[in-house]
Amino acid sequence: KVISSSGGNAGLAVTTVARNIPQMDVSVIVPETTKPLVVEKLRSLGAEVTIHGKNWNEADALARQWVDDAKKSGGGAVYVSPYDNP
Q: Give the model confidence (pLDDT) of 17-73 as tens digits.
A: 988 898 899 999 999 999 999 999 999 999 999 999 999 999 999 999 999 999 888
Greatest alpha-carbon pair distance for the chain in Å reads 35
- For residue 84, pLDDT over 80 is answered with no
pTM: 0.90
pLDDT band of 86, cuts 50, 70, 90:
low
Collapse the DSSP code of 25 into the 3-class scheme (helix H, G, I; strand E, B; otherwise coil) and give the result. coil
